[in-house]
Copies of this chain bind each other. A is one copy, B any other.
Amino acid sequence: MPEMLASYIAGAWYTAPDEGTVVNDAATGEPVARVSSTGLDTQALVDHARSVGGPALRGMTFQARGAALKALATYLDANKVAYHELSLATGATRRDGAGDIDGGIGTLFAYSSRAKRELPDGYVLVDGDVESLGKEGTFAGRHVYTSLPGVVLQINAFNFPVWGMLEKLAPTVLAGVPTIVKPAGQTAYLTALVVRDIIASGALPEGALQLVCGGVGDLLDRLGGEDMIAFTGSASTAATLRGDDAVTARAARFNAETDSLNCSILGPDAVAGTQEFDLFVKEVGREITTKAGQRCTCIRRALVPEPAVDDVLSGLRGRLDRVVVGNPRSESVTMGSLVSLRQRDEVRDAVNALARAADVVYGDPMSVAPVDADPQRGAFMAPVVLLCDDVDRAEPHEVEAFGPVTTIIPYSEARDVGQIAARGGGSLVGSIVSYDPDFVRDVVLDAAPYHGRLLVLDRDCAGESTGHGSAIPQMVHGGPGRAGGGEELGGMRAVRHYMQRTGLQGSPAVIAALTGDS
C-alpha cells in the first residue's frame, strides 16, 4: 500500500490509522498515496489557528507579512523540482505543471512585491478619506480594515493543487488571518508535499497554515462569523457548503469560485486571414488542451459568426490534429490525462448530454490512443469539438464537460452576442477577439455584469496577453451566478476580503490617532 498522507494539525503531523482511500497516478493507474482524515481533531485545528496562528500573524505588520511571503516563495522556488516531478502523477504535462507550481510561487512573489509598495508598516488599512460629520468640525468618521479574528478554511479543487492553495494563502497571510487548507483528494499528495516544505521553511509563524488531507469532518460546525470559507470547485459542492449552518445561521463568510461555461467571442470583423481570426483559433485550441481542458476558466463556448464557422472548424482541426495525447512523462506528449478515470467518465457523460443538442464535429470522446500509456488505466481523452446550430437549446449554456471539450455556437446578429454570452448564467471569464472598437464596446458593456474578467484580444496585445484562461494576481478571479458569485485575487482587493471593514466615528483627533494620519 502507498503511504498515507499526513495532515498538519496544531503543530504536529497526524496520520490516520485506517486504510483510507488510495489515489492513483492519473496516467498510469499506479497507486500514489492514501488519503484519510479519520480521527481528525477539528477542535484542535480551529483552536490552534485562533489562539496561535492568528495572534502571531496579527502581531506582524503588513510589511513583515509581505517579507514572510517573499521568504516563503524563495524557499519553495529552490525546492520546486520535486513538485514538478510529482505533478506528472496528476496527469499534467510539465507545461501544465508550470502553471500550477511556478504560477503559484509567482503569485506569492507578486503579493509580496505589491505588499511592499502598497501596504503600510502597521496593522490597520484605511479605506477612503476622513469624513467630516458635523458643521463645526468636531465629529468625523473614517473606515478601517482589521484582520478577521478567526480562520480561513480553504477547500480546493483537484486541478491546481499548488496554485489553488498559494493564490488564497498569499492574501490571507497579508490580511493576518491563519489558514486551514483542505486539498481535493485526487491530487492532495502534491499539496501535502508543498505544505511540508512550507512548514519546514519556517517562513510563516506556527499556526498560520494547517493541512487536512481527507474529509473535514465536523469542522464546519466550529466556524462562524469570525471565519471564512474559501471554496473552489463544483457548483453543486458550493451550494452544499453555502447552505451549511456555518454560513446561513452563523454568517461565516463564504467565497465560491466554481467552474463555469466561459465563452470566447469571435468578432464579425475577424474573418479568416485576419490576425484576430488566427488568434481566436489558437486561443480556443490552447484552452481546451491546456491541463486537458481541466481549468475552470476554459473556453466551453466558442461564439462564432455564422459565416466563419467552417473556417474556424478547419483551423481548429489543423491545430488539434497536432496534439499528442499520452503519458506526460513522454517527451512527445503535448496533452496529458484527466485527473481520474471517474472524472473521464463524467466528462464523457457530459459530452453525451451536449450531443443531444449539438454534433460532435471533431474527436471521439469514447476513444483515444495515448502515447506510452494504457487507455484502460490512464484517464485519457482526445480533444472534442461540438457544433450547436440550434440557438434555442439550453445544453451548450448549461452542461459543462470539464475536459478537452468545447462547443462552437454560431451567431447571426452582432447585437445578440452579449445576450448569448449571458446565457451561461455568469462566468469567470469571457474573451472578445476582434479589432472593431464598436463591436468590442457593445459586447463588453452587455457582457461585463455576467463576468468576473473580460479579455479583449487583438493584434495589439496578443504578444503580451496572458491569455483567456489565466487567472493572474493583478486581476480579480471569480464571477457571478454559475461562477459562484465570488471574487479572489485582484491585487490588494483580495487582502480586504479577509478583513472586516469598520466605520470609526469620533473627534478628528481620535480618528487621526487611530488611523495613523494627522
Contact B225 A510 (CB under 8 A): no
Within 8 A of B (CB), among A475-518: 475-476, 480-485, 487, 490-491, 493, 499-507, 509-510, 513-514
- Which chain B residues border A464 with CB–CB below 8 Å? 133-136, 138-139
Contact partner of A513 (CB less than 8 A), chosen from B135, B422, B437, is: B437
**Separation in Å of the A357 CB from the closest CB of chain B?**
22
- Which chain B residues border A476 with CB–CB below 8 Å? 143, 501-503
Contact A463 B136 (CB under 8 A): yes
The reply on A352 being an interface residue by CB < 8 A is no
Contact A491 B139 (CB under 8 A): no
Interface string of A419-457 (1 = CB under 8 A from B): 000100110000000000100110011001111111111
Chain A interface extent, by class: 35 or more
- Which chain B residues border A449 with CB–CB below 8 Å? 146-149, 226, 499-500, 502
Contact A448 B146 (CB under 8 A): yes
Knowing A250-B481, A437-B510, A510-B437, say if A505 contacts B448 (CB, 8 Å): no
Between A124, A250, A426, A464, the greatest number of chain B beta carbons within 10 A of the residue's beta carbon is seen for A464
Contact A131 B247 (CB under 8 A): no
Contact A426 B457 (CB under 8 A): no
CA distance A238 to B149 in the complex (A): 23
CA distance A450 to B226 in the complex (A): 8
CA distance A513 to B506 in the complex (A): 42
**Nearest-neighbor residue (CB-CB) of A466 within chain B:** B133
The reply on A273 being an interface residue by CB < 8 A is no
Contact partner of A457 (CB less than 8 A), chosen from B143, B251, B499, B506, is: B506
Contact B505 A143 (CB under 8 A): no
**Nearest-neighbor residue (CB-CB) of A147 within chain B:** B449
Knowing A226-B449, A448-B502, A472-B133, say if A242 contacts B248 (CB, 8 Å): yes
- Which chain B residues border A141 with CB–CB below 8 Å? 474-475
CA distance A240 to B131 in the complex (A): 36
Contact A458 B510 (CB under 8 A): yes
**Separation in Å of the A501 CB from the closest CB of chain B?**
6
**Nearest-neighbor residue (CB-CB) of A492 within chain B:** B128
Knowing A464-B139, A476-B501, A485-B251, say if A507 contacts B451 (CB, 8 Å): no
The reply on A224 being an interface residue by CB < 8 A is yes
Contact B491 A131 (CB under 8 A): yes
- Which chain B residues border A502 with CB–CB below 8 Å? 448-449, 451-454, 476
- Which chain B residues border A505 with CB–CB below 8 Å? 453-456, 461, 465-466, 475
CA distance A134 to B240 in the complex (A): 40
CA distance A256 to B251 in the complex (A): 9
Contact B437 A481 (CB under 8 A): no
- Which chain B residues border A245 with CB–CB below 8 Å? 239
In the complex, besides A251-B484, A465-B505, 8 extra interface pairs with C-beta distance below 8 angstroms are A128-B493, A242-B248, A448-B504, A449-B502, A453-B503, A455-B506, A457-B506, A490-B501
A-B residue pairs in contact (CB < 8 Å), sample of 28 = A123-B445, A124-B448, A131-B475, A133-B464, A139-B463, A139-B464, A139-B465, A141-B474, A141-B475, A143-B493, A146-B445, A146-B449, A225-B481, A225-B482, A238-B251, A239-B249, A242-B247, A248-B248, A251-B483, A251-B485, A252-B485, A253-B485, A449-B499, A449-B500, A454-B504, A455-B506, A458-B507, A460-B507
Closest 3 CB pairs of A and B: A225-B481, A134-B464, A456-B506
